[in-house]
Amino acid sequence: MSDPYMPLTSVRSGIGFEAAKGVHGLTVQIANVYFIQYPSEPHSFILIDAGMPQSAGMILNEAKQRFGDDYHLKAIILTHGHFDHIGAIEEILEHWDVPVYIHSREMPFVTGKEDYPPARPDSKSGLVAKLSPLFPRHSIDISSHVQALPEDGTVPFLDEWIWITTPGHTPGHISLFREDGHVLVAGDAVITVEQEKMADVFIQKQELHGPPAYFTPDTETAAESIQRLAELEPGALLTGHGIPMTGRNFRSDLMELANHISSL
């Protein structure tokens, strides 16, 4: 059964952007996906996350625009398995028989074994938070394609990148980091919009923010994850929600955010 179209969107939906050297981004309604160029093959890429339900056409079209008609998807890496990060994955896999990688602790949510816990609509004020009980949280089943990320922190197909465990938002949430340019693909561990607020989401008002509160059962662990990301001294924050922030060292901003969240 496919999920219904979610009437949540933003002014940037469908807009692609160069997020960092070798990393192209696309906003799909309210969530971002990233295309990381596969080294030495100009038409090939690895997709990070898979957008909202029913967005496969939009994502693959963007791939064609960016990588050419003979574009080639090598693999998909998921930061976590929430509906707005895996929405198009089943349809993409119908076109592209490629491996999907996710943290081992996140596997039950993408192999039909475990659903995410219920949303917490009262965790923070805002219309998106209020609507969150309507968001799908059931497990999908892509067992035929998905496998656990290697435990040593290496990222398949992407030698320059490492993955870091950033739980709290979900038990097996990960972020990706590249030393070159100190580029962080953060998923929902940290985001750049106040995701609980419909108006902010719609205009994509830029603001450094913790993970969406309505879907974050473990705030304390989420704060520790942000602290861990701060220690990497990222110079570019490419997040699952919101317009990327680039051009400075985000260490102190992230430390401050982690302290703020753990004091709530």
Q: Which stretch binds Zn ion (CB under 5 A): 17-25, 74-82, 216-224, 241-249?
A: 74-82
How many other C-beta atoms can be found within 10 angstroms of the C-beta atom of residue 1? 4
Min separation Cβ 31 and Zn ion, Å:
8
Q: Closest approach of Cβ 221 to Zn ion, in Å?
A: 14
The SS3 of residue 220 is: helix
- Identify which of 243, 188, 244, 242 has the alpha carbon closest to the alpha carbon of residue 215: 188
CB atoms near residue 134 (< 10 Å): 12
* Nearer to Zn ion among residue 24 and residue 82 (C-beta): 82
How many residues bind Zn ion (CB under 5 A)? The answer is 2
In the complex with Zn ion, which residue's Cβ is closer, 22 or 146? 146
Among 12, 82, 103, 182, binds Zn ion (CB under 5 A): 82
Buried b / exposed e along 88-102 (16+ C-beta atoms within 10 A): bbbbbbeebebebbb
Q: Judged by CB under 5 A, which stretch of 41-49, 82-90, 192-200, 219-227 contacts Zn ion?
A: 82-90
The 157-186 contact track toward Zn ion, x by CB under 5 A, reads ------------------------------
Residues forming beta bridges with residue 101, ordered by sequence position: 77, 147
**Least distance from C-beta 39 to Zn ion, angstroms?**
29
Residue 85: CB minimum distance to Zn ion, A: 6
Backbone angles phi, psi at 256, to 5 degrees: -60, -45
Q: CA–CA distance from 152 to each of 79, 106, 155, 220, 225 (Å)?
A: 16, 17, 9, 25, 18
Question: Applying CB under 5 A, does 106 fall inside the site for Zn ion?
Answer: no
Q: Which residue, judged by CB position, is nearest to Zn ion in the bound state? A: 82
Q: For residue 47, which phi and psi values (nearest 5 degrees)?
A: -95, 130
Interface with Zn ion, residue 188, by CB under 5 A = yes
- Least distance to Zn ion from the beta carbon of 208, Å? 17
Query: Applying CB under 5 A, which residues contact Zn ion?
Result: 82, 188
